[in-house]
Structure 1
Amino acid sequence: MVNTECMNDPAFDTASDTIVGEDYSDARLPGGQWRRQEYVGCTFHDADLSGLETEAVTFTDCDFTGADLTGSTHSGAAFRNCTFEYTQLRNSTFRNSTFLGSVFRDCRMRPMTFDEVDFSLTSLGGVDLRKADLSGCRLREANLVEADLRESLLVGADLSGVRAGGLRLDGADLTGARVDAMLWVSASLRGAKIDFGQALAYAGAQGLEVVQG
């Protein structure tokens, strides 16, 4: 177990350091301010990171199982190939950040704020993101199987290549989003809002022929 006292210092800034393989399990680091660190293969099992503020911090192959990130704020952060299982993420904010290749399982994720977030190749199977605002986010080739995005905002989002079996998009706003044909036939879309071009694509995916009257 590493000494975490310095990480509670508001001035904690190790811009030149890459931290590899450290174990922060059960660490108590609420309200920390981390800037420009890089963590590789680190473990944050059951760590208290509530209220954490990060800026330009990179996490690669890190494990946040059971961690508490409630009320945390992340700007320009990268969570690459990380694991979030039973993680508390309520009231957290992510801006200009990426979760490329990360996995989410059984996490508490409502409510959350996303601004220009990249979920490409991220596994979000079964997550509950009802009423989430994912406008402008990238979800290319993400796993959304059995995810609940009812009444969510996906305006201008990139949903290209997503796995959508059992995805619930009832009441969602998909206007301007990039959507493949597979989503139109795999997801539940009752009451969803789509634009005219998407309506034509939906009809084509369902084997319908649209004719002008």
Structure 2
Amino acid sequence: MTKTIEGETFRNEDWYGDEFTDNTYVGCTFLHVDLMEASTRGTVFQGCTFGNVKFNASRHTDSAFLRCAFTRCNFFEAEFTGCKLVGSTFTDSALRPLRVSGGDWSFVGLSGADLRGVTFTGVRMREVDLTAANCAEAALIDVDLSGAQLHGVNLVRCDLRGSDLSALDPGTAQLTDAIIDAAQAVVVAQTLGLQVR
């Protein structure tokens, strides 16, 4: 039976390996909670705060973390499949090696995040804030980055094939050895004011 939990604070909880299905948490606070190897399916967290929470090796499927704040959390080897994180922010959190497949990460705040080697595939990330984020050797494949904030982003050796790069200013990003396809090359050239014939 599904239930909604509102405004509660969970502190120093040990939920290692637990399974969460279909419940909804609204405006809840999670502090020093162990969610290592835990899993969520169809679970919704709305306007929740996570502080020093361990998400190591956790698995999240068709769940939602809407307008949530993650501070000093650890996502080592965490996986998100078909999840919505619209409007959430990550601050001083360990996000690698993170794997994300599908879902909607639009308007997510990842400014200055260390995303080296992470994998995002087929994810909607419209207007995501990747200002000064380190995405070196990451894979952002078939990702919708339209309207994204990419000033100062490090995309060295990043695989960007199939992604929307219309918001990318090559003059403000590090792009050495980044991998793009032919269609993207045209977009980048046009951004630089070149004529492609």
Cα distance in 2 for partners of 1:176, 1:29 equals: 38
CA-CA distance at 1:181 after TM superposition: 4.3
Cα distance in 2 for partners of 1:111, 1:98 equals: 19
What amino acid is aligned across from residue 121 of structure 1 in structure 2?
Answer: F
1:18 is the counterpart of 2:4: yes
Identical counterparts, % of pairs: 34
CA shift digits 1:14-60 (9 cap, x unpaired): 41x11000110222221111110000000001111112111100000
What corresponds to 1:155 in structure 2? 141
TM-score, with structure 1 as normaliser:
0.88
- Please tell me the root mean square deviation across aligned C-alpha atoms, in Å: 1.3
Matches within 5 A, 1:187-202: 187-202=173-188
CA-CA distance at 1:96 after TM superposition: 0.7
Cα distance in 1 for partners of 2:161, 2:60 equals: 27
What corresponds to 1:30 in structure 2? 16
CA-CA distance at 1:148 after TM superposition: 0.8
CA-CA distance at 1:153 after TM superposition: 1.4
Cα distance in 2 for partners of 1:135, 1:29 equals: 28
- Determine which of 84, 91, 94 is the counterpart of 2:70: 84
Query: Of Structure 1 and Structure 2, which has the larger fraction of its residues in strand?
Result: 2
Retained in 1: the 8 A contact 2:146–2:167?
A: no
CA-CA distance at 1:173 after TM superposition: 1.5
Matches within 5 A, 1:55-74: 55-74=41-60
Cα distance in 1 for partners of 2:77, 2:4 equals: 28
Retained in 2: the 8 A contact 1:129–1:150?
A: yes
For structure 1, which runs of at least 5 residues remain unmatched after alignment? 1-13
TM-score, with structure 2 as normaliser:
0.95
Cα distance in 1 for partners of 2:76, 2:27 equals: 24
Cα distance in 2 for partners of 1:67, 1:75 equals: 18
Retained in 1: the 8 A contact 2:147–2:167?
A: no
Cα distance in 1 for partners of 2:40, 2:33 equals: 15
1:49 is the counterpart of 2:35: yes
Cα distance in 2 for partners of 1:149, 1:179 equals: 14
What amino acid is aligned across from residue 19 of structure 2 in structure 1?
Answer: Q
Cα distance in 2 for partners of 1:36, 1:135 equals: 24
